[in-house]
């Protein structure tokens, strides 16, 4: 079974631009969560999507948004990029049941100049 | 609200020595607890998880953790460290309900000396 894939792996943008990151979950997984990882703040939860609906949201400004498609693939968008948005963005998918195990992708390294 | 505290941002052990990484949690409901490992430039890999079955949980690569409700702890141990264990380790908690949300600790970087 293929794992969680994220594209692109690396991205360089400038302040004020916007960016879209993509995540393909493990086949059959309907839940996709996004996390931001930085040296200063650690791993912070952005949001979770389940069956195309945002089910949970972290404490991030409205510049961060996401969506999920009918095939469970998810995209995350950040508008009006700031230097502080430079981070590793991780996506995780989860299957059904109550074991709540998440499988993480390799991440997208975003650098904002 | 749930929270996780990992004691020690850096831990250094000698190869062959005991590894002990500490994690304390706070949760208003019976928690699901996890330990993940992250190698440089990679995503997180699940080491083990506690889901209210046995309190001593065995994971991959020789790691295990014990859930102690009275101490609200879920410390990670390995009897004998190997050089390949050098990585960052994250403890995480989830309440397991719908609207799934996992809270991660700040992480502990493990160094293994030859």
Tell whether A45 lies on the interface with B, counting CB pairs under 8 A.
yes
**Distance (Å) from the C-alpha of residue B22 to the closest C-alpha of chain A?**
17
Q: What is the mean pLDDT of chain B?
A: 90
Cα A72 to Cα A26: distance, rounded to the nearest angstrom:
9
Cα A30 to Cα B26: distance, rounded to the nearest angstrom:
28
Cα A112 to Cα B7: distance, rounded to the nearest angstrom:
32
Residue B102 contacts residue B4 (beta carbons within 8 Å): no
Is the model more confident about B43 or about A61?
Answer: A61
DSSP state letter for B18 = P
Q: What does the pLDDT read at residue B19?
A: 98
Which residues of B fall within a CB distance of 8 Å from A92? 43-44
pLDDT per position as a tens digit, A57-110 = 889 999 999 999 999 999 999 999 999 999 999 999 988 765 667 899 999 999
> In the beta sheet, which residues pair with residue A10?
A109
Tell whether A10 lies on the interface with B, counting CB pairs under 8 A.
no
Per-residue pLDDT, averaged over B94-109, amounts to: 78
pLDDT category of residue B99 using cuts at 50, 70 and 90: low
Q: What does the pLDDT read at residue B32?
A: 86
pLDDT per position as a tens digit, A8-59 = 999 999 999 999 999 999 999 999 999 999 988 889 999 999 999 998 888 9
Cα B6 to Cα B103: distance, rounded to the nearest angstrom:
12
Q: What does the pLDDT read at residue B98?
A: 52
Q: Is the pLDDT of residue B96 over 70?
A: no
Which residues of A fall within a CB distance of 8 Å from B48? none
Residue A88 contacts residue A105 (beta carbons within 8 Å): no
Q: What does the pLDDT read at residue B97?
A: 60
Q: What does the pLDDT read at residue A100?
A: 65
Residue B95 contacts residue B65 (beta carbons within 8 Å): no
CA angle B39, A34, B101 (to 5 degrees): 100
Quick one: tokens of A57?
């949201």
Per-residue pLDDT, averaged over B53-61, amounts to: 90
Q: What does the pLDDT read at residue A40?
A: 84
CB contact under 8 A, B44 and A98: no
């Amino acid at each position: 079974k293929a794992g969680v894939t994220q594209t692109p792996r690396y991205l360089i943008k400038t302040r004020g631009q916007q960016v879209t990151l993509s995540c393909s979950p493990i086949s059959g997984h309907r839940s996709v969560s996004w996390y931001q990882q930085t040296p200063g703040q650690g791993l912070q939860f952005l949001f979770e999507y389940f069956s195309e609906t945002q089910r949970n949201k972290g404490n991030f400004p409205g510049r961060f948004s996401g969506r999920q498609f009918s095939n469970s693939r998810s995209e995350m968008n950040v508008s009006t990029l700031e230097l502080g948005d430079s981070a590793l963005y991780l996506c995780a998918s989860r299957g059904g049941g109550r074991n709540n195990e998440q499988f993480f992708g390799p991440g997208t390294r975003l650098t904002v100049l | 609200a749930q929270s996780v505290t990992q004691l020690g941002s850096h831990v250094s052990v000698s190869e062959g020595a005991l590894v002990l990484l500490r994690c304390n949690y706070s949760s208003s409901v019976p928690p699901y607890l996890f330990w993940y490992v992250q190698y440089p430039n990679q995503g997180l890999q699940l080491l083990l998880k506690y889901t209210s079955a046995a309190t001593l949980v065995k994971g991959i690569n020789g790691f295990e953790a014990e859930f102690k409700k009275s101490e609200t702890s879920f410390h990670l141990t390995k009897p004998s460290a190997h050089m390949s264990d050098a990585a960052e380790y994250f403890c995480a908690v989830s309440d397991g309900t719908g609207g799934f949300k996992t809270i991660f600790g700040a992480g502990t970087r493990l160094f293994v000396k030859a």
